[in-house]
Each structure stands twice: as C-alpha cells, then as structure tokens.
Structure 1
Amino acid sequence: YKDVAFKHKVDNFPAGTVFAIAKVINYGKITRFQLANGYYITSNQNNVNRLYYVAGGDVKRVKSVRGTHRYKDNALKHVVDWQPAGTEFDVAKIVKYGDTTRIQLANGLFISGNKKINSFIK
C-alpha cells in the first residue's frame, strides 16, 4: 500500500516474496511494516513470516535446502566445508548476529539462520 491506513493499494505479491523492511510503524493498535521503497505491508503473522530464525528459539534440527557452507565463526567468514542439499544438522542454539541470526551447530560450527537456506525440521 502507498499509505499506512491501507487505503491505496499498489500490488499483490506471491507467497515467498522477500521484502526489505525499513521500519515498524504503529498505526493505532495495528502494526505495519514500512518497506525500503516507502510502501507499507501488513505485519499480521498469518501473512508474514520472518526470514531468519529467532535467537533463543526452540529449534533442535534443521536441513539444508540447496546445500550450505559450515563456518568456524558467526560472521560466516572462515569456511570449513560445503554440505550438500538434504544434510541435516543438530542445532546447539540460535545466535543473534547484527540484524540476522546464525545457527550454532552441536559441533561448534556455524551456518546461516536464513530459513530459505536451512529449513526447520524439529
């Protein structure tokens, strides 16, 4: 929408579309997301999912969707190896890193906390 009141509709987007959120806006008792392009979308969790796992979340196991690198550090700068699609990982914890999260594995290595890269199993 062009406005926070949702009176001027711009477009519809298919499921799975990723948006760059600039800020969270309170409109009365309703919360909206303002996008980087100035438009607004709903924050209703029935329509919007987080792209990254939440730090402190209850994730025990994830599976690589397209394959993923494992890293020594949570900055994801020191690559250890590549794991193919379908590899399952035991999760020790979800660690906050800047505006995103990383998944610390049971063996101490890190992978991305992006749900499109590593999907939830349990």
Structure 2
Amino acid sequence: TLRYKVRDVNHKSKSAGKIGYITAHHKYVVQAYYQSVPKNKKITVIGTNGIHAYKNETLTRRAKSYKKGTHLRVKKIVKHNLTTRYQLSNGYYVTANKKLVIQGNY
C-alpha cells in the first residue's frame, strides 16, 4: 500500500520534528488548496482572523483585508509555484487555501 512519509513542522507541538507515515488513499488525502473556480464564482472567508488581499499573485503589496463571513466574487484561478490563488473581480489576489476560504455563500 502506498504511504506518504511526513514530518511535523509545527514548532510548538509536542511531536515537532517527529516522522510518521500516512495513507496515500484518495479517500483520505485531499489537496490543501482549491484547484478550480466555484460554479457561482463566489467564495466566503472562513478564516478566524480573516484574510488579506494583495495586488500581486505572489501575495505581495497588501491591498485590503476581509473579515470572516465576507463574500467575494472570483474572476479566475491563478497558479503560483505549487499553490493556487483566486483573482477577485476587483483585480486583487487572495489565497485558495481550504482552511481560509470556502467555495459558495455560507
């Protein structure tokens, strides 16, 4: 059975630096970032501290902040290195991290 070798990189956790294995079965392992634009082209901020919008897809030059619960309209998805970003209708860029945003209105 295929497995992923993982290491805990959270400095403050009890298991920091320890190595372990997790299954690579597609039912249990998913991408951390969205790979597509939502059907209704809307996302909702779910991060407790909100998220920041940036002027560049490299997430530099901070432009604006959005609080939790804010609904945003997406124009397209942009790939940057191994991750993805959403380009908003106003031209700013935000993360596509599933822990910080969710597709649709919630």
Q: Same fold by TM-score, threshold 0.5 exceeded?
A: yes
- Over residues 84-105 of structure 1, what are the superposed CA-to-partner deviations in whole Å (9 max), with x where a residue is unaligned? 1100111111111112111111
What do the CA deviations read for 1:55-74 (whole angstroms, capped 9, x no partner)? xx142221111311111001
Q: Residue 21 of structure 2 corresponds to which residue in structure 1?
A: 40
**Structure 2 counterpart SS, 1:39:** strand
Identify the residue that residue 22 of structure 1 maps to in structure 2: none
Please name the residue that 1:85 is paired with.
Answer: 68
Tell me if 1:99 matches 2:70: no
Q: How far apart are residue 31 of structure 1 and its match?
A: 4.1
TM score, norm. by length of structure 1: 0.65
Instruction: Kindly report structure 1 stretches of 4+ aligned residues shifted beyond 6 Å.
Output: none
Could you tell me how far apart the structure 1 residues matched to 2:62 and 2:37 are? 26
User: RCO greater where, 1 or 2, for CA within 8 Å and sep 6 or more?
Assistant: 2
Q: How many residues align?
A: 91
Tell me how far 1:33 sits from its aligned partner: 2.3
- In the other structure, the counterpart of 1:52 is 33
Identity %: 33
Which ranges in structure 2 are unaligned for 5 or more consecutive residues? 8-17
Q: TM-score, normalised by structure 2?
A: 0.74
Report the alpha carbon displacement of residue 121 of structure 1 after superposing the two structures with TM: 1.5
RMSD: 1.8
Q: Secondary structure at the match of 1:33?
A: strand
